[in-house]
Structure 1
């Protein structure tokens, strides 16, 4: 009887497998890169970054295979998800995951990193074109916009971080420019929606942490391209730091939230600002950035572990992969 129930429930679970679980790959990959950079800059050799990178690969493989099974067996559900005004923005999380794995892999296996980068950059650019075209040609309500809208277009800023090792610098500037331009536009729209309209639904509240990611990633990409820290890179870094302070000051609102898959939105932005802090310490040699980087790395580790455990607990209690 139990076997029959499991057999009947599995296809249903697959049908409702959420695309935003790719954010888990982003979070774990980001933490792996943060540890790799921390170990490199502070001359440590505990191998935590490498172990986390392996974990990120395993999660990426698991989530990708599961979602491709969903495409094969429940294609109408995938189409519905891709046409959803909020969920559609998580499809580029797949390509961003490949780009982040490329960044994490480049010091170990450059050829594999290149293949991950070329596939990730190509898929992400195609998704950027598709989603922006949809924004132009379809009608959306202001209530449908939220920080997850950053993912498709601002994700282009990630492309130059590894891309600078593989392609002409002008291609890196191309993707960086796209990301920066749409970050400014979308930030104005999203902030307007948050301030002047009804509050977002509670499951979407964790996406506010995505505000940290664009300036953090832009700082990393920009310093990679130009090779040093200048006035503009400082502006990007301190905008990211401001959002960290702002959102941590609102912690009492976040700790009251019930768990949802969107909690993974906490993870990558915190990883990104941690990496940015490590880079700032490396380039500026200001001790304060070293302490900030250490504190953020501890915080990000705790957040990723907590969200991972919450996700596993919710999955085994059949609270994930269910109809909304």
Structure 2
């Protein structure tokens, strides 16, 4: 009779099944980063055409990575449903479940220039998933569970970010009222969560090292909200300026944290750096396109260069962590 209380030998096939149970939903943050880079390269292509084939290549890579991660997570859900339930009830990991629907929305936005019909189907699937997950996550937050202040991190912005991503492509495809619905929900919860997060950062203990990179997520909501707003209105007005400059302000605050970030060990949470930088780069390019601002155009390219370096570094560090068996381990 097999003793199931013993940990499997890491060199046996059973070890792979054991690690599958610890495959985290946070892996979908990698897809967000790759799709963010794809869209940022596409946004910079009008001024530098060489970026367009690079964007197409990144789309293929990002889509392939997304399929692989999705298949592995589905296998986990089928083989280890209790592990998925445990993640769902985890006070921090719960906020990462909308990265699944966000990945679909970003994929749809990236595919749109190549195949509008496919993009619309993927977008509709992403919208449905985002709606369900937003309600489910927020219901989980306000349930009878007892959350501690230490559980609150900028990662809680993820459901709000997903809602404001919906109009970026939705308005272009004619889903105006749906776009305003999700935009309104995302903005309401962003403002509420921003108040809670700032209170936590100022008046309570610092965020633990493993989750400190999620500080960069502060940049994402206003940057994405700018893109959504101008997609629905087609103009850069006072509200649009308020949103993009809020993104710049949060970016400066994050830059001030770089010395501390540089001292931290690598974890999957580091992928939180990628998408917010991509969103602010795309927002800068979009502002420059609508307003004719050379300054914002240059900011967009500077952020794009930083993004390329960050994603390259994250891919390298993630690959090393996988080879060393540091990923998919019990926490």
TM bin (shorter chain): over 0.9
Distance 1:206 1:140 in 2: 21
1:251 aligns to what?
258
User: Conserved in 1, the CA contact under 8 Å of 2:161 and 2:220?
Assistant: no
Distance 1:313 1:280 in 2: 38
**1:303 aligned onto 2:290:** no
Q: Identify the match of residue 28 of structure 1 among 20, 26, 34.
A: 34
**1:212 aligned onto 2:243:** no
RMSD: 1.3
Distance 1:198 1:232 in 2: 34
Give per-residue Cα distances to partners, 1:202-221, cap 9 Å, x unaligned. 01000000000000000000
- Where does structure 1 differ by over 6 angstroms across 4 or more consecutive aligned residues? none
Distance 2:225 2:176 in 1: 15
Extract unaligned runs of 5+ from structure 2: 1-8
Q: Identify the match of residue 282 of structure 1 among 289, 293, 306.
A: 289
SS in 1 for 2:73: helix
Distance 2:10 2:36 in 1: 40
Distance 1:41 1:122, change over 3 A: farther
Distance 1:189 1:281, change over 3 A: same
Which stretch has the larger CA shift, 146-155 or 15-24? 146-155
Q: TM-score, normalised to structure 2's length?
A: 0.95
Give per-residue Cα distances to partners, 1:21-63, cap 9 Å, x unaligned. 1000000000000001110354556511110111110110010
Distance 1:304 1:66 in 2: 22
1:321 aligns to what?
328
Aligned residues: 322
Distance 1:231 1:202 in 2: 37
C-alpha deviation, 1:153, in angstroms: 2.9
User: Conserved in 1, the CA contact under 8 Å of 2:32 and 2:106?
Assistant: yes
User: Conserved in 2, the CA contact under 8 Å of 1:154 and 1:182?
Assistant: no
SS in 1 for 2:46: helix
**1:101 aligned onto 2:75:** no
Write 1 or 2 for the structure with the bigger share of helix: 1
1:131 aligns to what?
137
Q: Identify the match of residue 156 of structure 1 among 155, 158, 163.
A: 163
Distance 1:308 1:45 in 2: 20
Which stretch has the larger CA shift, 287-296 or 138-147? 138-147
User: Conserved in 2, the CA contact under 8 Å of 1:41 and 1:278?
Assistant: no
Q: Identify the match of residue 200 of structure 2 among 183, 193, 204.
A: 193
Q: Identify the match of residue 235 of structure 1 among 221, 242, 249.
A: 242
**1:262 aligned onto 2:269:** yes
Q: Identify the match of residue 79 of structure 1 among 73, 78, 85.
A: 85
